[in-house]
Amino acid sequence: MSDDTDLYRYVSEMGAQWLSSQQLPAGGRGVELKDPCGRAVWLLQGQARVDPLPMRASLVRTTNTADHTPRLNQTVRTAIEPAKVTKLGHVVLQTLDFPRMSEWYMRVLGIIPTDVQYLADGSPNLAFCRLDLGHQAADHHTLVLVGGIEEKYEHSAYEVLDLDALGQGQQVLRAQGHHHMWGIGRHLLGSQLFDYWHDPEGFEYEHYTDGDVFTADVETFYSPLDFGGIWAWGDDAPASMKPQKNLRTVLRLLSLIRRKLITPQRLKLLSAALDAPARPWL
């Protein structure tokens, strides 16, 4: 949280609990809130900072293109090394209660929906949200909320320096036998060049570079939700990114309908959005 954020208000008005100094990873102060779906959300302030790790210069300024050749009499030889992460870029959460969750995060954290996608009946179901940094550049999305059939961490994404860092990082992870999931490709909303991996426990992680940034005054853009709309080019998204069509999912859906957590109409709209063909022009 910014230095001028009044954490006391979260305690007095929203029932946030102060974190003890033993809980804080880097000093400062912080409070814990619960979001509408019961996740713990920590708001931290005044944490100690460390110096950035050394990083080579980005290759972008010396990238040759058909109409501009700044790299003259020089080659591209980047080191074969793990992609150095410059920051945690965003987190994606799936939720059963998209309206309440998106309202809560906008109100409590002041996040701005950059891109909102809606189902065929016009109801919003996915929001790419950025931080309100005023006139400073903020990533297209820092928090993404997507309506679905379970409360689930989808993935977290880590920014790397440039495309060569992404590609060399992929080589290293492959050589070490890690489980590649998707990429390299370019996202549509957010525009990042992406590369997705599974960790040994099956959690999803993304390395990315070259994402969009916006100031706070850019208006929200609305578009219809379809699964094919999450990438501009690259391999098709793996089936593992969608709910698996198996008995477990059927039982889960029946239970959700019985507990009135989702309606059959909404399920139908969701499934139409997920099953929309990725490349209708082919």
Q: How far is the CB of 155 from Fe ion (least distance, A)?
A: 6
Interior CA angle at 8 toward 5 and 10, to 5°? 80
- Using the minimum distance from each CB to Fe ion, give the nearer residue, 31 or 157: 157
Q: Which residue has tokens 């208000």? A: 9
- Using the minimum distance from each CB to Fe ion, give the nearer residue, 16 or 93: 93
Q: How far is the CB of 78 from Fe ion (least distance, A)?
A: 24
Nearest 10 degrees: CA dihedral of 116, 208, 278, 240?
Answer: -100
User: Cα 169 to chain center, whole Å?
Assistant: 19
Count of other CB atoms within 10 angstroms of residue 16: 21
Amino acid at 175: A
Token pair in block for residue 36: 């509408």
- Using the minimum distance from each CB to Fe ion, give the nearer residue, 126 or 157: 157
HEC profile of 95-143: ECCHHHHHHHHHHHHCCEEEEEEECCCCCEEEEEEECCCCCCCEECCCE
> What separation in angstroms does the CA of 153 have from each of 100, 109, 157, 204?
17, 19, 12, 9
- Using the minimum distance from each CB to Fe ion, give the nearer residue, 11 or 181: 181
In terms of Cβ atoms closer than 10 Å to its own Cβ (0-12, 13-18, 19+), residue 257 is middle
Angle between helices 247-258 and 264-275 (to 10 degrees): 140
Binding positions for Fe ion, rule: CB under 5 A? 157, 206
- Using the minimum distance from each CB to Fe ion, give the nearer residue, 185 or 243: 185
Q: How far is the CB of 25 from Fe ion (least distance, A)?
A: 23
Amino acid at 72: L
Q: How far is the CB of 250 from Fe ion (least distance, A)?
A: 28
Q: How far is the CB of 4 from Fe ion (least distance, A)?
A: 29
Q: How far is the CB of 261 from Fe ion (least distance, A)?
A: 26
Distance CA 100, CA 103 (A): 5
Q: How far is the CB of 37 from Fe ion (least distance, A)?
A: 20
Q: How far is the CB of 90 from Fe ion (least distance, A)?
A: 6
- Using the minimum distance from each CB to Fe ion, give the nearer residue, 146 or 157: 157
Residue 247 in contact with residue 253, Cβ under 8 Å?
no
Residue 85 in contact with residue 158, Cβ under 8 Å?
yes
- Using the minimum distance from each CB to Fe ion, give the nearer residue, 50 or 239: 239
Name the residue with the smallest CB distance to Fe ion. Answer: 157
- Using the minimum distance from each CB to Fe ion, give the nearer residue, 104 or 194: 194
